């Protein structure tokens, strides 16, 4: 029963960290350039989404992270949670040290949100605040490498694990804000839909290549051989994760090669552009579902011996 709760806590925490980093990465590298004037309906919509996500994800991160810590302490001691056990894990283990550092970063990010919410009164977030939260999100997400198997081998493995996590924060986590803004752009037939899709597609392509390379490094360190991939529970779950990643990448390739060109050259109000936009929306939703499944698999992998 404890293992099931631990998997759930890990999945929720991973998801919250991925989305927190992903929304600020999406804003900096996609929305900020496409909605440069900030006057369109889609731009205002995205700013409200950014405000909502920044408020909701940090509390989710705290609750799920606390549950993860308590469940790990229970697994270490083999006993129900006690204050003495929690103090020992917090002060005398590497896992506790990682959580101390992450808690400090979380507190700074939360304080920044509270401060900006109390002073801006609904106005757009300033660029300095967004860059600051982007940095905090990267630290919170990348530091998860020290809470998993990435800490157990070489620096190459740890570096690959950090880059893999940050890449996942851009894609597929960035697909959620992309899908939300895409829906709004389609409903208003704004002319920025072409540049918007091109910008995100270019960013996603680079991210997928990074994740593929770092994923190969992680697989080499954690599995070691093909026989381990098919002969052990960890390897089979890892193969399933790789398969889902490949399917999501194939869908992304269709978006890049077939749908993006149509949205780039067609009038957003034309039937061809509307059809391409609808197909793109469906494909992105499928990628999101696959990405959520991958997060669950990552949560399972964290409790299995590699």
Question: Tens of pLDDT along 249-278?
Answer: 999 998 888 888 877 766 667 777 788 888
Is the whole-model pTM more than 0.75? yes
Cα torsion for 209, 249, 20, 213, to the nearest 10°?
Answer: -30
The angle formed by the CA atoms of residues 276, 277 and 281, to the nearest 5 degrees, is: 120
Q: Encoding tokens for residue 281?
A: 């929306």
In order along the chain (306 residues), what is the average pLDDT of each group of 10 residues?
Answer: 86 97 95 79 88 93 96 85 89 92 96 83 78 96 83 76 95 94 83 84 92 89 71 86 94 86 71 84 94 93 81
Count CB neighbours of 241 within 10 A.
Answer: 20
> Is 83 in contact with 35 (CB distance < 8 Å)?
no
**How many angstroms from the chain centroid is the CA of residue 302?**
17
Instruction: Decide: residue 305, CB within 10 A, 0-12 exposed, 13-18 middle, 19+ buried.
Output: exposed
The pLDDT tens digits for 185-195 are 888 766 678 88
- Residues 291, 248: contact at Cβ < 8 Å? yes
Nearest to 175, CA basis, from 284, 33, 263:
284
Residue 191 per-residue DSSP state: T
For residues 69 and 89, the answer to whether their CB atoms sit within 8 Å is yes
Q: What is the pLDDT of residue 225?
A: 65
Residues with Cβ within 8 Å of 219's Cβ and at least 6 positions away in sequence, in order, are 229, 238, 242
3-state secondary structure of 13: helix
What does each C-alpha distance from 19 to 55, 63, 171, 188, 220 come to in angstroms? Answer: 12, 15, 10, 26, 27
């Amino acid at each position: 029963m404890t293992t099931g709760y631990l998997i759930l806590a890990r999945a929720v925490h991973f998801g919250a960290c991925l989305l927190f980093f992903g929304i600020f990465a999406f804003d900096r590298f996609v929305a900020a350039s496409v909605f440069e004037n900030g006057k369109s309906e889609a731009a205002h919509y995205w700013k409200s989404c950014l405000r909502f996500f920044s408020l909701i994800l940090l509390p989710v991160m705290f609750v799920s992270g606390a549950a993860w810590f308590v469940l790990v302490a229970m697994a270490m001691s083999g006993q129900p949670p006690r204050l003495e056990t929690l103090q020992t894990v917090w002060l005398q283990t590497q896992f506790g040290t990682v959580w101390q550092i992450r808690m400090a970063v979380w507190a700074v990010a939360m304080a920044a949100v509270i401060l900006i919410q109390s002073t801006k009164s609904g106005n757009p977030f300033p660029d300095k605040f967004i860059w600051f939260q982007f940095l905090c999100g990267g630290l919170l997400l990348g530091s998860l490498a020290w809470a998993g198997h990435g800490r157990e081998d070489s620096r190459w493995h740890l570096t690959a694990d950090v880059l893999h996590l940050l890449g996942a924060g851009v894609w597929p986590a960035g697909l959620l804000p992309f899908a939300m803004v895409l829906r709004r752009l389609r409903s208003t037939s704004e002319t920025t839909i072409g540049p918007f899709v091109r910008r995100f597609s270019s960013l996603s392509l680079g991210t997928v290549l990074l994740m593929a390379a770092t994923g190969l490094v992680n697989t080499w360190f954690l599995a070691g051989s093909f026989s381990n991939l098919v002969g052990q529970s960890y390897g089979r779950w890892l193969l399933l994760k790789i398969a889902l990643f490949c399917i999501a990448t194939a869908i992304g390739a269709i978006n890049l090669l077939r749908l993006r060109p149509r949205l780039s050259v067609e009038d957003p109000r034309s039937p061809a552009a509307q059809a391409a936009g609808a197909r793109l929306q469906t494909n992105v939703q499928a990628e999101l579902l696959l990405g959520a499944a991958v997060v669950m698999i990552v949560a399972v992998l964290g409790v299995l011996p590699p």
